[in-house]
Amino acid sequence: MKILHTSDWHLGHQFYKYERDEEFQYALRQIVDIVSREKPDAFVLSGDVFDSPTPSTVAQRCFTQALLAARQACPAMAIIVIAGNHDGKSFLNVNRELWALADVHIVGLLSRSDVGEEELGRLASDVEVLRRKFDLDSQIVCVGDKGIVVAVPHLYDMAYPYLLNPEAPAGQRRKQYFCSLMEYVDSRNPARLPVVLMAHLAISSSDLSWHDFGMVGGLATTPQSDFGTLYDYLALGHIHKPQNIVSDGRLARYAGSIIPISFSEELPHSVSIVNVKAGATTADDVAEVVIDPLYSLLTLPATPLPFDQALQSLDVVEPDRKCYLRLHVVVDGENPLPPDALVQVRNCLKGKMARFCEFKIETPPELAKEGQSVIADPSQLRGMTPLQVAEYASPTPLPMDYRDMFAQVEAIMEQKKERDGE
């Protein structure tokens, strides 16, 4: 089964308050062209369709137009979309019946069945409990005689349903859920067609070097072993850096974001074309197709300099170059950032298409605290979690109890954000 795997569109995202609608449309036109050229059997979008639980009308229109254009480019292709942690899950789910008319399968929430606890108590296996609790068929898409796609929307660890054991901890419930789901799918697949499992989460062994935790999501990770071995390709979203992960002979992959969401995402963005084979999918079956960015990321100068010298580096920026720009400066007692620094930068960029974003501030090592850069500008807090800010501010290492409390508060806030978005 040939699939196009994409994720983390983040439609509606603003980059330092700059609107990005033109960028998204430019990227999505390229994806539609790839669909037209590759003619995949299935198009899988692994979450974070939108950047906000309540996306703008423009972002919604962009999503609708992109999917309809992809459908027109390849009418026989199945399209499957799951919700990510940034998406309003109910918001995404509400029009799923309407989208189904265009053979677009939207899975924003797990569809629960109306079954009583007494009946569940008579069941003997996790698979039977899962099958009775949920409408699993709404998550399973048969792609003709080519293969099967299993769609699981984003769930916080505490939201995974318990099966036979109501006292099971969150991590155990997660593993039981995925293994039972895939056991059910396997029982429905006597022909042993290739199986793609979609999910939106962070695998423990993934490369998080692009992941801006202040902007993109939380720290919780999942072992790949939690998914079992009854899938042939794990189509992941959440981590923005494209990468393969292999465990127990099974291939998992992050397709990555389609345009940069932070300055940490400086390498090319892409979608993945994957030839999924039953029991034999490898990294050799994956091809990255690069998405050309309308606006690139630019940090000048490459080596930090005092502000006056760094400002001169802006002379090399061509007037028609579309880019997001940050100025790389050294700040210390002898080289402070002047009060009108932003005005000076904007004056240097007059008549140019570059969009100035921030100062990347470096501090001399002798002023650093235990190897940590001094916070010289509020923008540096953007990529830090509350725990990291507390650790920076504390003169001594935080006790483990304090670290646990921060983790609990972050989990509660994530759940509250999800509820408020729905």
* CATH superfamily to which 2-291 belongs: Metallo-dependent phosphatases (3.60.21.10)
Strand partners, 323: 296
**With contact defined as beta carbons under 8 Å apart, do 176 and 168 qualify?**
yes
288 vs 69: CA distance, rounded Å: 21
**With contact defined as beta carbons under 8 Å apart, do 284 and 11 qualify?**
no
Q: Which carries the bigger pLDDT value, residue 126 or residue 327?
A: 327
**With contact defined as beta carbons under 8 Å apart, do 49 and 87 qualify?**
yes
- CA-nearest of 156, 4, 135 to 80 is 4
* pTM for the structure as a whole: 0.84
Band the pLDDT of 377: cuts 50, 70, 90.
low
**With contact defined as beta carbons under 8 Å apart, do 2 and 275 qualify?**
yes
Note the pLDDT tens digit of each residue in 42-91. 999 999 999 999 999 999 999 999 999 999 999 999 999 999 999 999 99
Mean pLDDT of 398-421: 63
User: pLDDT > 90: what percent of the chain?
Assistant: 67
Q: What is the pLDDT of the chain when averaged over all its residues?
A: 88
Domains of the chain, by residue range, sit at: 2-291, 300-384
Distances (CA, A) of 204 to 136, 189, 222: 27, 29, 5
